[in-house]
Amino acid sequence: MKKIYQWLLMGGLMVLTFCLGITTYATSKTSQAGITFTGDGSIEVSVILQKKDKETNKVLSDATFELRDETGKLITVNQPMTTDGKGEIHLTRLFPGKYTFVEIKSPKGYQLDQTPIPFEVGFDKTSVKVVAYNQKNKKVDDIKNPTTNSENSSKIPNAENKKPVGQKQELGKQTKGKLPKTGTKISYTWVFVGVFILAIVVYGTYRKYRMR
């Protein structure tokens, strides 16, 4: 089978590689730039994903992730990956390129966050650390009663429009005292005066009639 030899310039050092079929092998281990190559063409890297509590910053174990390339294709080697006691996942070999971590299982008591976490490795970028956060699950009581203020306000609707009972009674008394008299009660003094005047008129008329 025909072997194809190829010279590559890496960090100022000429590296001899040859291709057998479609697989590339590196005959040099380390370049002057400090890059270590493996037999499949990938490079040695230090990629660390750390998982933390969003509020307390506490590290979280048992978070499970998938690794995908820049096209979204799943990288099947050593998959899936779970954070350790330090809340970390370590990758040591990758091909240069862009990748994303995607959470597929959250730690117990935390919400799943499947937002892709991007990172990139290359010949000039072999050490990468990313931090991801999880939010705790909401309690049932918090969902039913989001705030104490809203609960109190729902119990007393239109509180501003309501007046104290004592104040209402006092206003009622003041109003009652100011009501005008209707005239249903008649003073007996004026009745007597009217009868007396009428009697005098009748008597005077009667005397005039007799004197004729």
pLDDT at 30 over 70: no
pLDDT at 58 over 90: yes
Confidence grade of residue 60 (pLDDT, cut at 50, 70, 90): very high
pLDDT at 140 over 60: yes
Q: In CATH, what is the architecture of 44-137? A: Sandwich (2.60)
Residues 158-167: what's their mean pLDDT? 54
How distant, in Å, are the alpha carbons of 25, 69, 73, 126 from that of 36? Answer: 13, 21, 25, 10
| pLDDT for residue 77 | 80
172's enclosing H/E stretch is helix 165-177
Residues 32-39: what's their mean pLDDT? 55
How far apart CA 9 and CA 15 sit, in angstroms, is 6
Confidence grade of residue 158 (pLDDT, cut at 50, 70, 90): low
pLDDT at 120 over 90: yes
Amino acid symbol at 114: Q
Interval 67-116: pLDDT, tens: 999 999 999 887 899 999 999 999 999 999 999 999 999 999 999 999 99
Higher pLDDT, 36 or 95: 95
Residues 6+ apart with CB under 8 A from 115: 103
Higher pLDDT, 8 or 67: 67
Share of the chain above pLDDT 90, in %: 40
SS3 state at 64:
strand
How far apart CA 46 and CA 34 sit, in angstroms, is 13
| pLDDT for residue 106 | 97
How far apart CA 153 and CA 161 sit, in angstroms, is 13
Confidence grade of residue 9 (pLDDT, cut at 50, 70, 90): very low
> Cis before residue 80, ω within 30 degrees of 0?
yes
How distant, in Å, are the alpha carbons of 95, 148, 188 from that of 202? Answer: 136, 87, 21
Higher pLDDT, 40 or 132: 132
Q: How many CB atoms lie within 10 A of CB 75?
A: 14
Mean pLDDT of the chain: 74
Intervals of CATH 2.60.40.10 along the chain: 44-137
| pLDDT for residue 66 | 96
pTM of the model: 0.52
pLDDT at 51 over 90: yes
CB 82 within 8 A of CB 62: yes
| pLDDT for residue 165 | 54
